[in-house]
């Protein structure tokens, strides 16, 4: 299993009109080795920033982040070969006209032969029952279908770590359950932010983020209870 380590990490960004930078994350020290790790918290709490640190989309302003010993700033290419990232909005990462072309694009570096690349793309799409939609324009697909296409494209290259930022937001119940079953059967280490507390309960470990800090880190049921209590106090939005 992969090891993701964050040591004394902080993230600050400049904001126009403000003399001091805005603090997005602060004092984050974690060693993530579990197979399934959930991240819950209110909108704006820092969940997405935490996830984007893992594949170098966001660099730490202080401290260090490593994936299997590779620093996400100094060895970002090596990190991104190991970490697949699925965005909340699939149109942020589906860049080709059709899902099939997008999956094939993700395979272009690792699979040189065109016929083999098409075969592997079909296998990745078939895993989600997406072959009948493979040649449709991504703009003709539902939000849930686009999300599954994006997940298929990421998994096609077999990363060792899969990071998902609110993956069930656009899914109906049927596709949510498909996502849930798929994630449970994957070999990859998974780090996933979610507002779906049932999905969080499927994890092995859950972090609760509030105001840029980890305020709870533990077993899923205990973490969900802690988050519900936090919401009830009015410190976080439900």
- 236: confidence class by pLDDT, cuts 50, 70, 90: very low
Residues 6+ apart with CB under 8 A from 174: none
pLDDT of res. 237: 45
Sorted by where each starts, the structural domains of the chain and their CATH numbers stand as: 4-95+158-232 (3.40.50.300)
- Between CA 84 and CA 155 the distance in angstroms is 7
Residues 6+ apart with CB under 8 A from 28: 6, 8, 9, 10, 50, 63, 213, 214
- Widest CA span in the chain: 58
Pick 143 or 226 by higher pLDDT: 226
pLDDT of res. 176: 85
pLDDT of res. 234: 65
Name all contacts of 75-82 with Cβ < 8 Å and 24+ positions apart. 79/54, 79/55, 80/55, 80/56, 81/159, 82/2, 82/159, 82/160, 82/161
How confident is the prediction for the chain on average, in pLDDT? 90
pLDDT tens column, 108-128: 887 878 888 888 899 889 888
In the numeric block, the tokens 């899969």 are attached to: 162
Count Cβ atoms below 10 Å from residue 138 Cβ, excluding itself.
20
Question: What are the structure tokens assigned to 15, written together?
Answer: 């904001």
Question: What are the structure tokens assigned to 64, written together?
Answer: 């260090």
Task: Tell me the DSSP string of 11-78.
Answer: EEE--TT-SSPEEEEEEEEEEE-SSEEEEEE-TTSSHHHHHHHHTTSS--SEEEEEETTEETTTTHHH
Determine how β-strand 62-67 pairs with β-strand 22-32.
unpaired
Pick 96 or 177 by higher pLDDT: 96
């Amino acid at each position: 299993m992969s090891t993701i380590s964050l040591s004394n990490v902080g993230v600050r960004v400049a904001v126009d009109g403000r003399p001091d930078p805005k603090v997005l994350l602060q004092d984050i020290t974690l060693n993530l080795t579990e197979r399934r790790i959930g991240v819950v918290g209110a909108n704006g709490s820092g969940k997405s920033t935490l996830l984007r640190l893992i594949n170098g989309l966001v660099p730490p302003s202080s401290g260090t982040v490593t994936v299997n010993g590779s620093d996400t700033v100094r060895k970002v290419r090596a990190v991104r070969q190991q970490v697949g990232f699925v965005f909340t909005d699939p149109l942020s990462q589906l860049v080709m006209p059709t899902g099939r072309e997008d999956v094939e694009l993700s395979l272009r570096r690792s699979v040189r032969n065109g016929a083999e690349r098409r075969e592997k793309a079909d296998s990745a799409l078939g895993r989600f029952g997406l072959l009948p939609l493979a040649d449709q324009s991504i703009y003709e697909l539902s939000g849930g279908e686009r999300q599954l296409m994006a997940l298929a494209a990421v998994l096609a290259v077999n990363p060792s770590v899969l990071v998902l930022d609110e993956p069930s937001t656009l899914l109906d119940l049927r596709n949510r359950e498909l996502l849930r079953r798929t994630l449970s059967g994957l070999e990859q280490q998974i780090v996933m932010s979610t507002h779906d507390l049932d999905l969080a309960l499927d994890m092995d470990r859950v972090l609760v983020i509030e105001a840029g800090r980890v305020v709870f880190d533990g077993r899923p049921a205990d973490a969900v209870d802690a988050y519900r209590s936090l919401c009830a106090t009015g410190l976080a939005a439900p």
